[in-house]
C-alpha cells in the first residue's frame, strides 16, 4: 500500500472491497485511494473481474480500458462518478445481458471454434478436459450431491451447451432443462474394498475420456465410495465451458 488516505466515500469503500476480493487480499488489508491495482498484483484477466463487479454494483458501464487508464481507487471513483452523472443527464441505462434478445442461432465464440476445430482434427480428446479430484470424509448423501450438481447445470447454460456444425457454421446449442435433467451427469459407484490402483484407473478413465462436443453435456462426475465415511469425487469439464476464472466458482 502507498500509505495514503484511506477510502472514505461509499464508492471508494466499494472499490477497496472489490480490490481485496479479486486480488485475494486479507479482509484487514489496509488500502489507500492511491493504491494501484496492477502494483498490488493485478493483471488483465483479473481486471475484467473488477469491471464486472463494478458495473454490477454501480451500473456505471465502465470498460476494461478504464482500469488501465485509471488503476487506483481514487481515479476509478472519479470515472464512476463521472459516468454516473453522464448517464443520469442523458437518461442512458446500462444494458444488461438479460435485456439483449438472443438470436435463433448463437454463434460459437472464437475460443469455442478453436476447440471445436482441434476436436474435428482428431486431436487428443482429453487435452482440453479440465479435471478436479477431491477426497471427502464424513457423512455424505450421494443423491443430494448429485442433485446439487444438476442444479448448478440448470442455472449455468455454459454447462449444458453443445458445439454443433450447422451448414458449415459452428453454433452453440443449449440443452433444454428437461433434457439436461434426464442425463446421467453423476455416476455413484461403490469401490469399497478395492485397491488404490483400481481407484486410480477409474479416475484416469473419467478424466481421459473425451467429450463429443455435439452430443455430450461438457461436464461429468463420478462419486466413488472408497471406505467407511470416505469418498472420492472426480469431476471433468470440457474447456469450452469453463476456464481459470470460472472453475473456482464451480467448485465453490
Contact status, residue 190 vs residue 225, Cβ threshold 8 Å: yes
> What is the CATH classification number for the domain harbouring 18?
1.10.1200.10
At residue 59, the pLDDT reads 80
Residue 93 has pLDDT above 60, yes or no: no
Answer whether 61's CB lies under 8 Å from 83's CB.
yes
Q: Which three cell numbers stand for residue 183?
A: 442425463
**Domain end residue (candidates: 59, 90, 121):** 90
Amino acid 98: pLDDT: 57
- What pLDDT is recorded for position 135? 93
Domain assignment present for 140: yes
Radius of gyration (Cα) for the chain, nearest Å? 22
**Over the chain, what is the mean pLDDT?**
86
Instruction: State pLDDT tens for residues 22-54.
Output: 998 888 788 999 999 999 999 988 898 899 889
Tell me, what's the pLDDT at 89? 55
Q: In the numeric block, which cell numbers belong to residue 170?
A: 459452428
Structural domain harbouring 61: 10-90
CB contact at 8 A, 177 and 236: no
- Enumerate residues 6+ apart whose C-beta is below 8 A from 208: 125, 126, 129
Statement: residue 146 has pLDDT above 60: yes
pTM above 0.85, yes or no: no
> Do residues 146 and 213 share a domain?
yes
Edge-to-edge strands of the sheet including 106-107?
106-107, 169-174, 161-166
The predicted pLDDT at position 11 comes to 92
Of residues 159, 162, 165, the one with CA closest to residue 120: 165
Segment 156-194, tens digit of pLDDT: 899 999 999 998 899 999 999 888 888 888 899 999 988
98 domain-assigned: no
Residue 42 lies in a domain: yes
Distance separating alpha carbons of residues 176 and 75, to the nearest angstrom: 44
Q: How far is CA 185 from CA 38, 91, 160, 220, in A?
A: 40, 46, 11, 5
* Of residues 248, 246, 5, the one with CA closest to residue 16: 5
According to DSSP, residue 101 is labeled P
Domain match, 177 and 238 both: yes
As given in the structure block, the three cell numbers for residue 18 are 472489490
Asked if residue 102 lies in contact with residue 210, where contact means CB atoms within 8 angstroms, the answer is: no
Q: Is residue 115 assigned to a domain?
A: yes
Number of structural domains in the chain? 2
Amino acid at each position: 500500500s502507498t500509505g495514503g488516505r484511506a477510502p472514505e466515500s461509499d464508492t471508494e469503500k466499494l472499490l477497496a472491497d472489490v480490490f481485496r476480493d479479486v486480488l485475494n487480499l486479507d479482509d484487514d488489508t489496509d488500502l489507500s485511494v492511491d493504491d494501484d491495482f496492477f502494483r498490488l498484483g493485478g493483471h488483465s484477466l483479473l481486471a475484467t473481474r473488477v469491471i464486472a463487479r463494478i458495473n454490477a454494483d454501480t451500473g456505471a458501464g465502465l470498460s476494461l480500458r478504464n482500469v488501465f487508464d485509471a488503476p487506483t481507487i481514487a481515479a476509478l471513483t472519479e470515472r464512476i462518478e463521472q459516468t454516473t452523472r453522464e448517464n443520469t443527464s442523458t437518461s442512458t441505462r446500462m444494458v444488461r445481458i438479460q435485456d439483449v434478445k438472443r438470436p435463433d442461432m448463437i454463434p460459437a465464440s472464437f475460443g469455442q471454434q478453436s476447440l471445436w476445430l482441434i476436436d474435428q482434427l482428431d486431436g487428443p480428446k482429453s487435452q482440453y478436459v479440465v479435471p478436479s479430484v477431491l477426497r471427502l470424509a464424513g457423512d455424505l448423501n450421494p443423491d443430494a450431491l448429485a442433485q446439487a450438481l444438476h442444479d448448478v447445470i440448470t442455472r449455468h447454460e455454459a454447462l449444458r451447451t453443445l458445439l454443433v456444425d450447422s451448414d458449415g457454421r459452428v453454433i452453440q446449442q443449449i440443452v433444454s432443462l428437461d433434457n439436461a435433467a434426464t442425463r446421467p451427469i453423476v455416476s455413484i459407484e461403490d469401490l469399497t474394498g478395492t485397491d488404490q490402483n483400481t481407484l486410480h484407473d477409474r479416475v484416469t478413465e473419467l478424466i481421459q475420456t473425451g467429450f463429443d462436443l455435439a452430443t455430450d453435456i461438457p461436464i461429468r462426475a463420478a462419486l466413488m465410495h472408497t471406505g467407511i465415511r470416505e469418498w472420492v469425487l472426480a469431476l471433468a469439464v470440457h474447456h469450452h465451458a469453463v476456464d481459470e476464472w470460472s472453475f473456482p466458482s464451480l467448485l465453490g
